[in-house]
């Protein structure tokens, strides 16, 4: 066991000193109950995250686990709680996620479930991530649908499922994400199928990395947090080399350094929470405006349809009245010939008719 731990530490050390392309950092986001943790466990190849069927969700805080892909990169997987389900501090978890991924995010996995209807909470998650990190964040997104076992039972493909009255907001997300999507069956016991869907996901991750020039996603928050963490770590290392301090004094100084870093995290959390509050208010306003516009459009369509039906009915009545005025004794269309009777004889209708 000690040898295995040493080998793992050696591999991790090599990864830190090598190119960032040898490490993949994936972040799982989505509504509570969609199966984010189960997807993370599938990628890791073990039950690292707590996962079970639960309406309240199991994941309470952001958590990072890692695995080493055979003949491949080290993969960091960050699981998140339902950020916008009202039971968590979204700002706190987002900053914690950034703190875990200081070197950047290689791919964000937006997890939906084919077993539940697309919700406003899921749309809010997507729009809030865009608002916080900018439009470029969509270039790093991959849409993962869980519940592949249910589609398989119904002999449906993912495209079949999406073709069944797919909500427009979900269509918009798919388009913005470059239609990068895949279906996951987290319940399968088939090892070959498990490996196949994980490999398909990692292939999409490589595609995202390639399309972004090999660079992970970062922004000002990532850069600032990394600088603060590096400063704290360097100060603590420098303190270890100093002489003349007791263990208690060194511990106290290190705690003060950590407290200063924690204060910076709190400042960022407050900033993110403030921005989220503002963006959420804007989002709710936008959704309400869209709802009102949709209802108005539906009402206008119904009014137009009713007016069209009334006009068609009126024209039909006018035509019938005109026909009766021409010759009530002859059936249509022979009564149309009555105006020409004075010009030449009109033969009687064929007896067969």
CATH of the domain at 167: 3.40.50.300
Q: Are residues 158 and 58 in the same domain?
A: yes
pLDDT tier at 52, thresholds 50, 70, 90? low
Q: What total of structural domains would you count in the chain?
A: 2
Q: Are residues 73 and 194 in the same domain?
A: yes
Q: What is the DSSP letter of 297?
A: H
- Distances, alpha carbon 8 to alpha carbons 11, 12, 44, in Å: 5, 6, 15
For 207-233, the DSSP string reads HHHHHTTTPPB--HHHHHHHHHHHHHH
Looking at the domain assignment, is residue 308 inside a domain?
Answer: no
* 221-257 burial: b if 16+ Cβ within 10 Å, else e: bbeebbebeeebeeeeeeeeeeeeeeeeeeeeeeeeb
- For the chain, the average pLDDT equals 81
pTM of the full predicted structure? 0.71
Rounded-to-integer distance, Cα 26 and Cα 64, Å:
10
For residues 67 and 52, which has the higher predicted lDDT (pLDDT)?
A: 67
Supply the range of the domain harboring residue 270.
Answer: 222-292
Whether 54 shows a pLDDT value over 80: the answer reads: no
Looking at the domain assignment, is residue 337 inside a domain?
Answer: no
Whether 243 shows a pLDDT value over 90: the answer reads: no
- Among 69-78, 206-215, 222-231, 254-263, top mean pLDDT goes to 206-215
Q: What is the DSSP letter of 21?
A: G
The pLDDT value recorded for residue 146 is 93
Average of pLDDT values for 234-238? 86
HSE at residue 196, side-chain half, CA atoms within 13 A, is 9
91-117 tens-digit pLDDT? 888 888 888 998 899 999 999 999 888
The pLDDT value recorded for residue 338 is 56
pLDDT tier at 289, thresholds 50, 70, 90? confident
246-283 tens-digit pLDDT? 888 888 888 988 898 889 888 888 888 888 778 777 77
Whether 86 shows a pLDDT value over 80: the answer reads: no
Q: Are residues 255 and 268 in the same domain?
A: yes
Whether 11 shows a pLDDT value over 60: the answer reads: no
The pLDDT value recorded for residue 110 is 94
Cβ(80)–Cβ(37) below 8 Å: no
Angle at CA 30, nearest 5°, toward 137 and 80?
90
How deeply is 40 buried, as exposed, middle or buried, from its count of CB atoms within 10 A (0-12, 13-18, 19+)? buried
Cβ(74)–Cβ(80) below 8 Å: no
Q: Are residues 43 and 95 in the same domain?
A: yes
Q: Are residues 162 and 141 in the same domain?
A: yes
Average of pLDDT values for 220-233? 88
312-347 tens-digit pLDDT? 888 888 888 877 765 555 555 555 555 555 555 556
């Amino acid at each position: 066991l000690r040898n295995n731990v040493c080998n793992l530490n050696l591999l991790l050390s090599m990864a830190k000193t090598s190119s960032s392309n040898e490490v993949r950092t994936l972040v799982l986001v989505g509504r509570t109950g969609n199966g984010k943790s189960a997807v993370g466990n599938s990628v890791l190849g073990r039950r690292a995250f707590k996962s079970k069927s639960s309406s309240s969700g199991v994941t309470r805080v952001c958590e990072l686990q890692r695995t080493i892909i055979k003949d491949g990169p080290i993969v960091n997987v960050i699981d998140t709680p339902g950020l916008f389900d009202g039971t968590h501090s979204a700002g706190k978890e987002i900053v914690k996620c950034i703190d875990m991924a200081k070197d950047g995010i290689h791919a964000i996995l937006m997890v939906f479930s084919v077993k539940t209807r697309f919700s406003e909470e899921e749309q809010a998650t997507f729009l809030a991530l865009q608002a916080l990190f900018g439009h470029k964040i969509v270039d790093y997104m991959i849409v993962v649908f869980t519940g592949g076992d249910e589609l398989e039972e119904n002999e449906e493909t993912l495209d079949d499922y999406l073709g069944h009255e797919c909500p427009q907001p979900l269509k918009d997300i798919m388009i913005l994400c470059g239609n990068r999507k895949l279906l996951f069956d987290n319940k399968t016991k088939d090892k070959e199928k498990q490996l196949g869907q994980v490999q398909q996901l990692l292939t999409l991750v490589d595609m995202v990395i390639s399309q972004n020039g090999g660079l992970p996603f970062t922004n000002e928050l990532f850069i600032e947090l990394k600088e603060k963490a590096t400063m704290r770590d360097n100060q603590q290392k420098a303190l270890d080399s100093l002489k003349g301090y007791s263990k208690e004094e060194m511990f106290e100084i290190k705690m003060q350094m950590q407290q200063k870093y924690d204060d910076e995290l709190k400042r960022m959390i407050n900033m993110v929470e403030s921005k989220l509050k503002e963006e959420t208010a804007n989002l709710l306003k936008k959704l309400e405006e869209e709802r009102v516009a949709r209802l108005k459009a539906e009402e206008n369509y119904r009014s137009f349809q009713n007016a069209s039906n009334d006009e068609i009915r009126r024209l039909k009545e006018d035509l019938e009245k005109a026909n009766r005025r021409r010759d009530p004794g002859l059936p249509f269309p022979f009564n149309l010939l009555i105006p020409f009777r004075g010009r030449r004889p009109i033969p009687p209708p064929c007896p067969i008719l």
